[in-house]
Structure 1
Amino acid sequence: MALTIWHNPRCSKSRRTLALLHERGFEPVIRDYQKEPPTMVELQDALMKLGSPASALMRWKDTDLGKDADENEILSALAANPKLIERPLVLTDSAARIGRPPEAVLEIL
């Protein structure tokens, strides 16, 4: 199974999620999404796998964007400023989960 984590090494939840994956024997592709930001298409694919609206990926406390923003506004903000992406995000070929709490990613493994 292909497994990728959109990872921020400075984030404790992201580090704990990565450690949990390693403890379970998984070696995910680690993508520092701030250094290698996802494209708009990758963001849309992640949302489809999450089964959630764009607002689920937004770190609302870090943005001035209003919670009434539409999907395109949110996606544009996430693509333009990847630090706004909620972390960590673990993706497989068919599903994704945000690692908050870290154990949430186990649902897709």
Structure 2
Amino acid sequence: MVNFCENCGALLQPNRKDDGSISLYCKVCKEESKEEFKNQSYQIKSKIDHTEKDRLTVIEDEFDVRPTARVICPKCNHTEARYWEAEDRKKEEWETTTYYQCVKCNWVWSE
């Protein structure tokens, strides 16, 4: 059953009230029907416009591109870890530090 506004002819939308009853209202002229529908069922849908960021799924764990090395993890003794290098300023000169992350327990250590 489709209902139209008596004032402007626009399609009436269902509106659920606090007491659970449903009335119909016009989005154009904001007029609300005096008739309440307690025994009829209406499906109320809302269109959600998602942003591009909301629609994007990022999977980080499966695409780790860091190289791996055969080193022993000091925490779990696993023999494989990802590694990367970073330059740190120690005193007055730059020093390169190698960091490792165990592929099993994710423990991070440096050498």
Instruction: Quickly name the TM-score band, shorter chain normalised.
Output: under 0.3
Q: TM-score, normalised by structure 1?
A: 0.18
The structure number with the bigger radius of gyration is: 2
Relative to the length of structure 2, the TM-score reads 0.18
Higher strand share: 2
